[in-house]
A and B are shown apart, each in its own frame.
Chain A
Amino acid sequence: MGTIVRKGGIMAVQGVEGDTKIIWDPENPDEVKNARRTFDDLRGKGFNAYSVKRTGEQGEILRTFDPKAEKIIMAPPMAGG
């Protein structure tokens, strides 16, 4: 049996109950549209978006949704304490 490797991106949205995952296939317009809408909604609420690799390498900040991103983490807005 071979390993099934899923093609597409995954977005982890941090929240009080742990993260919620949203997945999309970059070739599926509906899934991309849905993921982009979530991304934009959260950015509007002040969430910070980071594109990261599945291997845990250093991430980069995302200002706009990238459907080709491998993995996106949406982190809540920060405040000084």
Chain B
Amino acid sequence: MSPYSTGSYYKYVPITYTASTTTGDIWSAWSNQIQQTTTSFNNTAAAWQNWINYNSIATTSTIEFRNNYVTTPPPETEEARAAHLEREQAQLRQWQEAEAERARQHEEAKAQAKKLLEENLSTRQRSDYRKRRAFTVHCTSGRRYEISQGQAGNVYEIDKEGKRIHKLCAHPRMTVPDEDAMLAQKLMLETEEERFLQIANRHW
């Protein structure tokens, strides 16, 4: 019978084991006994102390593990179960509230970043962005780029007809809202196009 089915808090389980010649064998035997015998659950501290006491003198010893107790959980009462459930529900509520707060902060950050982006777009860029979540940057080199919603792999070099000819990826190293990343990409392309191209990976 499993010691856990007794319903008692503690169960005394005596173990006697005759170890053979070496300290290693004693330890190994003790370990094996625990792993292999279902009733061999030990008061570890007592067993350990016993092993320490014997291992230095024994070549062949009989070691008796005493004070070996099995701990079993008490049966849960209705009250305890209700309290348990209440604790779990409180934790769930706490987690949901934290998630809601994180979502609120995320939305707030996104709105703030969108405002900053729109403030720093030309009239044409702002209009494009509001219509299709993308805008075009004209560089002094004559090249043109489309920055679309996102922050990685969202920059395209485009031809005169607006067809995408290369996909570029350069993004802020830290986590920022998409709109902040788009503004950072726009500003770098406008002011340091060559540096942007050096940093960016070209995917096609």
Which A residues form the contact surface with B (CB < 8 A)? 12, 14-19, 46, 48, 50, 52, 54, 56-61, 73, 75-81
**In the complex, are the beta carbons of A61 and B192 less than 8 A apart?**
yes
Mind listing 20 A-B residue pairs with CB under 8 Å? A14-B116, A15-B174, A16-B175, A16-B176, A17-B112, A18-B111, A18-B112, A18-B116, A18-B180, A19-B180, A48-B192, A56-B125, A58-B122, A58-B190, A58-B191, A75-B180, A77-B174, A78-B172, A79-B199, A80-B170
**In the complex, are the beta carbons of B188 and A48 less than 8 A apart?**
yes
Chain A residue numbers with a CB within 8 Å of B200 are: 80
Given pairs A18-B113, A56-B121, A73-B187, 18 additional interface contacts (CB within 8 A): A14-B172, A14-B176, A14-B180, A18-B177, A18-B180, A19-B116, A19-B180, A52-B120, A59-B120, A73-B116, A75-B184, A75-B187, A76-B174, A76-B176, A76-B184, A78-B172, A79-B199, A81-B153
Chain B residue numbers with a CB within 8 Å of A80 are: 169-170, 199-201
Residue from B122, B174, B191 in contact with A16 in the complex, judged by beta carbons closer than 8 Å = B174
**In the complex, are the beta carbons of B172 and A76 less than 8 A apart?**
yes
Secondary structure dominating the interface of A: loop
Tell me whether B132 is interfacial, beta carbon within 8 Å: no
Kindly identify, within residues 89 to 121 of chain B, every residue whose CB is under 8 Å from any CB belonging to chain A: 105, 108-113, 116, 119-121
Closest A residue, CB atoms, query B175:
A16
A-B CB contacts (within 8 Å), total count:
103
Chain A residue numbers with a CB within 8 Å of B192 are: 48, 61
A56-B121, A78-B171 known; A61 vs B191 contact (CB < 8 Å): yes
A80-B201, A81-B170 known; A48 vs B187 contact (CB < 8 Å): yes
Q: How far is the CA of A16 from the CA of B170 in the complex (A)?
A: 17
Chain A residue numbers with a CB within 8 Å of B125 are: 56
**In the complex, are the beta carbons of A81 and B171 less than 8 A apart?**
yes
**In the complex, are the beta carbons of B170 and A75 less than 8 A apart?**
no
Closest A residue, CB atoms, query B185:
A78
Q: How far is the CA of A50 from the CA of B183 in the complex (A)?
A: 11
A15-B176, A17-B105, A80-B169 known; A57 vs B116 contact (CB < 8 Å): no
A18-B110, A61-B191 known; A78 vs B170 contact (CB < 8 Å): yes
Q: How far is the CA of A54 from the CA of B118 in the complex (A)?
A: 11
Residue from A19, A58, A79 in contact with B112 in the complex, judged by beta carbons closer than 8 Å = A19
Tell me whether B196 is interfacial, beta carbon within 8 Å: yes
Q: How far is the CA of A67 from the CA of B185 in the complex (A)?
A: 24
Chain B residue numbers with a CB within 8 Å of A16 are: 109, 174-176
The 9 closest A-B pairs by CB, nearest first: A18-B112, A75-B184, A18-B109, A81-B169, A76-B172, A80-B201, A61-B191, A81-B152, A14-B180
